[in-house]
Structure 1
Amino acid sequence: MKMTLFLPLLLVVLSVSTDQTEALALQQSFSPDVHAALREMIASLTEQRLELRSLKKESAGNAAKFESQGAEIEKLKKQLEDYDTKLKGQETETNKLKQQLEVGQVAFSAALLVDGSTTFGPFNTFTTLVFKHVVTNIGNAYNEQTGIFTAPVKGAYHFEWYVGAHGGRHAAGAALMRNGERIFIAYEHQPSHYGTSANGATLLLESGDQVFVQQWHHSRIFDSQNHHTTFSGHLLFTM
């Protein structure tokens, strides 16, 4: 009876031992490959991490570089804008100086009559005198058709005017006008013989301002081929 029970038990033990041995052998046969694969995966992951860190570092460096370059570009752009503004200012100043040089020589002198002799007036109103006999008109700022001087450039100008008259009941007078403003007057009244009056003024004129001489109302002004009545002016300096 004992012998009969032992034999089946022995067979079971041998069977279990054989399965464990085969499993252990199978495990031993696959373990090196698994460890090698794991090591390879770990090495690959490590390499990828290092590469990723390198890429991040390079990306950060490029970003900083681009940011620095962007700041440098903006700086250069600002410098170019400042230079352009400065250049435009210099061009404007150059054009202004060029204009001043072109019109910097301004002078004229004219008398009422070209020839003959005439007494003008008296008139009931102020009358602009037209000085026809032009002896000097540098810069062509004086118009002999209207008797008006037009300032070609802003600056200080000096003017003089002389008024000739014969003695009598009427005085001789003429006023210097700037646009519609009366500046000074030259006025002479004597009962007999020939007389003259003169005056002068220095004016600050803007470009386009007009200066002329008006005969005083109820006055008489004489001129002849000897040119007693004259109007002169010239630019002192530009502003």
Structure 2
Amino acid sequence: MKITVSSLLLLLVCSVSTGQPETTTQVCPQDIHAVLREMTASLAQLKVEVTSLQKENQAYAAKLKELEKQETEIDKLKEQLQVTQVAFSASLLASGSKTIGPSSTHTTLIFKHVLTNIGSSYDPNTGMFTAPVRGAYHFEWYIGVHASSTAAVLVKNTNHIFTAHQNQTSGYGSSSQGATLLLEVGDVVFLRLWQNDKAFDNQNHITTFSGHLLFTV
């Protein structure tokens, strides 16, 4: 706000010369009290405007804080949505043709060719699926074999769940199995080839392991 200073200027120039040989000082006609009242009123108005601006700034700050809070909540919801989107599917070999086994001990099957891994909960380096949230998960596995027996068991942490078994005396055969498990956060699920058994895979990706989250609990 611009403060009117015309009256103040008049006060500064209120002393004038009369043109007589002796200089006399004439009394300024403006009332100094009136000038002070005008300046006081102007300052009061300025204070009102400043107070109004401060209130507006506080309102803007409150709105900005609320907006930041909403953005944080949206980010959390996005993270939760990503966590609940879990699915993977992989085959045993990335390329070529190979028979795994037999071995004198149980062997963890590591499925290298990853077709889908939404949520990145399956690790192709270890063959382990780790549950990111508590919920019901469904798993399926298909095991191929040539002229031998095969038994691939689904393992939850250290517990054997279901087994896909096939005793193929000649030629090619396969076995499949599925299971729905209630998993806690951090539970691991993987496939274990039974000792003295075999599993076969080739470029057609016939030995596979898949799973997905059905719903959270």
Q: Same fold (TM over 0.5)?
A: yes
Counterparts of 1:97 and 1:104, CA distance in 2: 11
Q: Which position in structure 1 is the counterpart of 2:82?
A: 102
1:140 pairs with 2:120: yes
Q: Name the structure where strand makes up a greater proportion of residues.
A: 2
Alignment of 1:21-170 (within 5 A): 99-167=79-147, 170=148
Q: Which position in structure 2 is the counterpart of 1:199?
A: 177
Contact 1:111 1:133 in 2 (8 A): yes
Equivalent position SS for 1:122:
coil
Counterparts of 1:118 and 1:190, CA distance in 2: 17
Equivalent position SS for 1:187:
strand
Q: Which position in structure 1 is the counterpart of 2:151?
A: 173
Could you tell me which amino acid in structure 2 is paired with residue 156 of structure 1? A
Counterparts of 2:193 and 2:76, CA distance in 1: 37
| TM-aligned CA distance change 1:231 to 1:154, over 3 Å | same
Contact 1:100 1:153 in 2 (8 A): no
Question: What CA deviation, in whole Å up to 9, does each residue of 1:61-98 have, x standing for no partner?
Answer: xxxxxxxxxxxxxxxxxxxxxxxxxxxxxxxxx99866
Give the superposition deviation at 1:100: 3.5
Could you tell me which amino acid in structure 2 is paired with residue 185 of structure 1? T
Q: Name the structure where helix makes up a greater proportion of residues.
A: 1
The alignment yields a C-alpha RMSD, in angstroms, of 1.8
Q: Which position in structure 2 is the counterpart of 1:188?
A: 166
- Taking only the aligned residue pairs, the percentage that are identical comes to 60
- The equivalent position to 1:218 in structure 2, one of 182, 196, 210, is 196
Count residues with an aligned counterpart.
145
Counterparts of 1:177 and 1:96, CA distance in 2: 32
Counterparts of 2:139 and 2:108, CA distance in 1: 16
Question: What CA deviation, in whole Å up to 9, does each residue of 1:196-230 have, x standing for no partner?
Answer: 00000000000000000000110011000101110
Give the superposition deviation at 1:155: 0.3
Counterparts of 2:93 and 2:129, CA distance in 1: 17
Q: Which position in structure 2 is the counterpart of 1:3?
A: none
Could you tell me which amino acid in structure 2 is paired with residue 111 of structure 1? S
User: What's the TM-score, normalizing by structure 2?
Assistant: 0.64
User: What's the TM-score, normalizing by structure 1?
Assistant: 0.58
Equivalent position SS for 1:119:
strand
Could you tell me which amino acid in structure 1 is paired with residue 195 of structure 2? H
Equivalent position SS for 1:102:
helix
Counterparts of 1:125 and 1:187, CA distance in 2: 17
Q: Which position in structure 1 is the counterpart of 2:33?
A: none
Q: Which position in structure 2 is the counterpart of 1:10?
A: none
Could you tell me which amino acid in structure 1 is paired with residue 145 of structure 2? A
Contact 1:179 1:211 in 2 (8 A): yes
Structure 1, unaligned runs of 5 or more: 1-93
Counterparts of 1:175 and 1:214, CA distance in 2: 5
